Amino acid sequence: MLQKITDLLQEVSSISVKNSEELELFRLKYLSKKGLISDLFEDFKDVPGSQKKEIGQKLNLLKQSALKKFNLLKTELQNQDEKTDIDFSRPAFPYNLGSRHPISIVRNELIDIFTRIGFTVSEGPEIEDDDHVFTKLNFAPEHPARDMQDTFYISRLSLEDSNPEDILLRTHTSSVQVRVMQNQKPPIRTISPGRVFRNEAISARAHCIFHQIEGLYIDENVSYADLRQTLLFFARELFGKETKIRLRPSYFPFTEPSAEMDVSCKICGGKGCNVCKHTGWLEILGCGMVHPNVLEACNIDSKKYTGFAFGMGIERAAMLKYGVNDLRLYFENDLRFLDQFKSAF
């Protein structure tokens, strides 16, 4: 038996394999339950007592040597496979760096512009109640914006219920401003960036999901002139020093007086295109002086404090800044479009 063990030791030490199939044959031949080493352990019980110690040591040495050889061969094959998988003709850095989405780029730039003149950032929930989205912002019960054609309602309860409350996806980030006014005393100077939802047809100029940034400033003796100067500073910081603005009278339930602000179209240089409807101007935001009813609804004394508010779509600002003529491009994740913003931060 000692001779068999010696022969197997020499045989195991001299074996080499070329692939995983040969390695498995090695395991089956020597280390499996029906292998040669297992057979020797079966024969070991018939060995005379005087020889058991010597043969037992040799047998254990054989098993350890076979296991060590198996692990060594396995490691060599793995290293060989790894070397085979390496294509030395490939570039050293095969992964292209990504970039921020153009909406994120413009959002961050807008935040930077307004924080430089004292505005802080406030955020709130996208799933809101009617009270914060409409009621406290002076929307009449019959206002068309409450209709299901404009608003995505999650649950809508009738007025006959004991605690009627409509749960909906916010249609503007003004709901965040309501929460700020309820929890903070003037002076208030804040911007509210975020995603909003409206039940609108998707086109080059509109989408059912878009991003807004809204601003609010409340203090004593705040005037319409403060609003105009703030917006002029913003427009020239974002679009360039030559940018012109104009304010047109408009109507919003939460501001009085109200206005729409247009900026000179950067895409066509004021000559007229499909984005600006061939007027040379592009409507970019709505604004106005905060309605006294809104201040009172949020427990702010409208006789002592005044304020202004404004809100704009970030997509529209990005269209102007980068000359994009179709809003849908922002949502399609087309790499041919997104790769153009790799140098932007």
First to last CA, the chain: 77
pLDDT over threshold 60, residue 84 = no
Q: How confident is the model at residue 162 (pLDDT cuts 50, 70, 90)?
A: very low
pLDDT at position 344: 53
pLDDT at position 299: 94
Distance CA 76, CA 15 (A): 13
pLDDT at position 302: 94
Give the H or E element holding residue 215: strand 209-219
pLDDT over threshold 50, residue 249 = yes
The answer to whether the CB of 297 falls within 8 A of the CB of 134 is: no
Name the most confidently modeled range: 93-97, 99-103, 128-132, 302-306: 302-306
Q: What is the largest CA-CA distance in the chain?
A: 113
DSSP β-bridge partners for residue 168: 128, 153
pLDDT over threshold 70, residue 105 = yes
Residue 321 is given by DSSP the state H
- What is the pTM for the complete model shown? 0.66
Find the mean pLDDT for residues 200-215.
87
Q: pLDDT tens for residues 271-306?
A: 777 767 788 888 889 999 999 999 999 999 999 999
* Cα-based distances in Å from 69 to 6, 12, 34, 38, 170: 16, 7, 19, 17, 68
CA 172 to chain centre: 19
Q: pLDDT tens for residues 230-248?
A: 999 999 998 888 889 999 9
pLDDT over threshold 60, residue 163 = no
pLDDT over threshold 70, residue 91 = no
pLDDT at position 85: 62
Helix ranges (DSSP H) in the chain: 2-14, 20-30, 36-43, 49-85, 102-115, 130-133, 174-183, 224-239, 292-297, 314-322, 335-338
Q: Cis omega before residue 257 (within 30°)?
A: yes
pLDDT over threshold 90, residue 178 = yes
pLDDT over threshold 80, residue 133 = yes
**The pair of three-digit structure tokens given for residue 344, joined into one six-digit string:** 């932007």
